[in-house]
Structure formats: structure tokens, C-alpha cells
Amino acid sequence: MVCGLWTVYTCDFIMKILVVTVNWLGDCVMTLPVFKALKEKFPEARVGVMAVPRVKDLFLNNPYIDEVITFDEKTVHRQLTAKLNFIRELRAAKYDTVYLIHRSFTRAVVCMAAGIGKRIGFKRKKTSWIITDPVTEPDRNIHRSDRYLFLLRKSGVPVKDSIPSLTVSDQSGIKAEKYLEPFKKKYRKLVAVNPAANWRQKRWPLTGFISLISELCGRGSAVFLIGTLKEKKIADQIIAAVPEGVYDLCGKTGLPELAALLKGMDCLISADSGPAHLGAALGLPVLVLFGPTDPAITGPRGRKVKIIQNSVPCKIPCYDLSCKDNICMQGISPEQVLAAMEEMIGHG
């Protein structure tokens, strides 16, 4: 049942637990083990998630999530009256406990105002009067997923599996299979490529992608470029250089459709970006090109993930957005990527 901004599954459970999640796709994928752990600890509980619109679909069709609540303090809920209406709706949902994975002060206040009695979050001076069960933050150098799970462990919830897992709905799966069927008949391999990242220093040079994709297409592969509509310019440049065997999906799919399409691919090649985490959670072989960021902190977790990162004299992680030589990404060669792909899925 869908009520306005709420996707609701009506069931009566002993307790109700809300998870206030983070804003970005990759980070949200890393929170997925949280919901599994909560359901394993409290199998009769009703578990909900509060998410921003751009990632809400990630949590649909998840067997460990009963309710998806959309909250957007930058647009829909920006005005005070909208926030008050949201608080009333949240209060009516009668959650007992909230895990504040997101560090947002506003969301913490909203949960308190909505009458959620037990509020578990990391200990911060700003929210010390809001959090009822504060947890001292772990070392910042631990993996982001372990950071989220740390909050659960400290509250008495054991975690058996820290590998994110994602399922595709039957409807999305059937549509994707129908779309990919003619490509599977025509090409030896179907390779998804995410040529963008949320900041320039994490992007592999366009010349590297063009050289790699040319080789892949020459060996009988179809390459599908994925990303947002904003990243279509990058896709256009690649297709202009390699017109045969390359297909542009940038901005043409929502999250459920993208996940279903990735599930049907043989491999995904990506920078340290959301789609890499998505592919890993689907069980897809994923090659991730790392430069300024540290895979020990933000690397996708999956059983078929391979990291490519060269040694550089810089301190990693590096968040110098003014860096111009970008040797960490410039130093990765198409030959390296191709060799890693051959090792994973065979493409000789």
C-alpha cells in the first residue's frame, strides 16, 4: 500500500524499528547488512527505513525491510509546515526504536519529535540531548560498512554477515532479460562500464576508457555505459570514439531497472562509485578502479570484487580536489584492467 511519500506494508509486529539511512547510493548499499542483522535479532519486528528520494528504491523488494519512508529536507520537507506534517505521520507509525546511522541533526530532532523513545546514534556534542543511547564512534579508518554495523553491535545486535546482498524483483528481472536477450545472442560478453564518479579525481581518464572499450568491442563484447543523465556527455564522447558495440544507458533507468540490467551482465567496470557497490551486492563480478580513495574504507564488499589500485607517493585517502596531475588514476593502464577482467571472467 502506498500513502503519499510512504510505501507501507501493513502487518502487526511486537516492536517497530526505524533506520535513518545515509544519502548516497554506495553508502546505502553498505547499510544493507544492518537490516538483515536486525531481522535476525528481532524476527517478529517491523523494520523501516527513512531515506532520501534518490535512493529509496534501493530498499524496496528487500526481505528485511517492511516500510520505506521518504524524507527530503532540501525540497519536499524544507519548510517548517512540511516537517511538522511529516513528524505527525511518523508519530502515527509508532516506532519504538530508531538507529540514526545518518549524522543529520534535523533527522535526529524529527525522530525525537515523533515520539520515538529509544534513539541510538553516535555520540556527538550537537545531538547529546537527543540521543538516548549514545555510542562512541569507532576509528575513522575502519570500513564504512563496519562503521554502520558497529552501531548495531554496541546496542546488542549481533552481525553474522557483513556482505551486502540485493535482490531484483521478478518484474524488473523479466524486463531486463527481454531487453538483453538479443545482445546475448549477438555478443560474446556483456560488459557494463560506469565511466563517471562524483568528483573528478576519482575518474579514470577518458582515453583509458576509450582504449579499453575499443579492445573489448574488438573481442566481441557489447559495452553498456551506465550513469546519470548528467553523465551522458561522457558517454557521448566514448560512443563518438567507439561507435560499434557500445550502448548508452545513462539516465535511462531507475535503480530497480539498473540493478536488473546489471544482474544480466558478465562484468562491471567502475570507479569508486555507487554502481560498483550495487553490482557487488548483486553478486556480479566487479572491477573497481581506485585512485585517491582507500578501498579498505570505501571499497565495495562482495564475493566477486577485484580492486585495481597502483602505489603512489601520495597519502591515501587523499581528498585534494585541486589536484591536477591525478597520478593515482592516470597510472592505471587499459592493459591492467583487461588482464584483471580476463582473470575474473575470461575474455581471451
Instruction: Encode pLDDT of 280-312 as tens digits.
Output: 999 999 999 999 999 999 999 999 999 999 988
Domains 2-154 and 170-345 share a fold: yes
For the chain, the domains span 2-154, 170-345
- Specify whether the CB–CB gap between 230 and 207 falls below 8 A: no
Torsions phi, psi for 30 (to 5 deg) = -70, -15
- Predicted local distance difference test score (pLDDT) of residue 348: 47
- Predicted local distance difference test score (pLDDT) of residue 9: 43
- Specify whether the CB–CB gap between 290 and 308 falls below 8 A: yes
Q: Which residues pair with 135 in a beta bridge?
A: 122
Spans in the chain with pLDDT lower than 50 = 1-13, 348
- Predicted local distance difference test score (pLDDT) of residue 221: 95
Q: For domain 170-345, give the CATH number.
A: 3.40.50.2000
- Specify whether the CB–CB gap between 251 and 227 falls below 8 A: yes
Quote the CA–CA distance of 241 and 286 in Å, as a whole number: 24
- Predicted local distance difference test score (pLDDT) of residue 197: 86
Which helix or strand (DSSP H or E) is residue 246 part of? strand 246-248
- Predicted local distance difference test score (pLDDT) of residue 3: 40
Local structure of 54: helix, strand or coil: helix
- Predicted local distance difference test score (pLDDT) of residue 347: 54
On the question of a cis peptide bond just before residue 317, with omega within 30 degrees of 0, the verdict is yes
Alpha helices in the chain (DSSP H): 25-41, 80-93, 105-113, 144-154, 170-186, 206-218, 232-241, 255-263, 274-281, 295-298, 327-330, 334-345
- Fold type of domain 2-154: Rossmann fold (3.40.50)
